[in-house]
Amino acid sequence: MAVPKDAIPSLSECQCQICLEILIEPVTFPCNHTICKPCLQSIIEKANLCCPFCRRWISSWARYHTRKNSLVNMELWEIIQKYYPKECELRASGQESVEIVDDHQPVRLLSMPGELRKEYEEEIRKMETEQRATQEAENKASEEYIQRLLAEKEEKEKRPAEKRQREMEEQLKSNEELAGKLRVNSNNFCERNILASPLNSRRSDSVTIKAQKKRQNRQKNTGCIQKYLSPKSQFGSTSKSEVVQGNRKSTMSKEIN
């Protein structure tokens, strides 16, 4: 309750809205609602540490100002004592005070037709907008979380696949090298078998026999030529021709006779 210093508050403004008596040692809450100190004590005794009008929590505030002994709004309390001392004495002595008549009747404000509906619809739209924004934020956070989980899962699955691929490539390379070595060994083995087969040995034997025969023939021919070319062979050949000629002459003389 804020009262200007120069203004004189009405009696209704100095009335406690809980006990409907004049404010004795008024206590003003952080929400600017004011009650008398006896009413505050009754509220504390009931362990209801909140403002009776707006339900704002005042436990921390009340403990703090109780320790500092500053619960009472001294400025307002001095104004009330100054302008309404009689009512304060009656309240302090426990006597009933004069009924406080409210000098200022509240002005009744009537809403325009459809104004409440419009306000209600605006609140509904505002609430729906807030709900949509909250839902979109939650959906976005959920999608980001799911994408992060999928990326982590894909990364975990990708590593073993790459490892298996490298192992397969290395195995294939080693298999190719082994196959090449086996082909080389197989070719060498086949060549050795072909050279060691009976057919090849027969062919080689026949070739060697033919070569030996050719060498023998060459040696014979060479020997014959040497015989004919030697002096002994010439002498023998002339004697034989003379004998043949003598035989031919004797036969011819016999035929003539």
- In angstroms, the CA 236 to CA 41 distance is 178
- Could you tell me the domains of the chain? 1-103 (3.30.40.10)
If DSSP states are collapsed to H, E and C, what string results for the chain?
Answer: CCCCCCCCCCCCCCECCCCCCECCCEEECCCCCEEEHHHHHHHHHCCCCECCCCCCECHHHHHHHHHHCCCECHHHHHHHHHHCHHHHHHHHHCCCCCCCCCCCCCCCCCCCCCHHHHHHHHHHHHHHHHHHHHHHHHHHHHHHHHHHHHHHHHHHHHHHHHHHHHHHHHHHHHHHHHHHHHHHHHHHHHHHHHHCCHHHHHHHHHHHHHHHHHHHHHHHHHHHHHHHHCHHHHHHHHHHHHHHHHHHHHHHHHHHC
Name the residue type at position 94.
G
φ/ψ of 80, rounded to 5, equals -65, -45
The pLDDT of residue 1 is: 55
Task: State the pLDDT at residue 237.
Answer: 46
Query: Taking the model in full, what pTM does it have?
Result: 0.36
Which pLDDT belongs to residue 233?
Answer: 43
Question: What crossing angle do the helices spanning 74-83 and 85-93 adopt, rounded to 10°?
Answer: 100
So what's the pLDDT on residue 184?
83
Which residues 6+ apart lie within 8 Å of 14 measured at CB?
A: 22, 23, 80, 83, 84, 87
Question: Residues in the chain with pLDDT < 50?
Answer: 200, 232-240, 243-244, 255, 257
Can you give the pLDDT at residue 159? 81
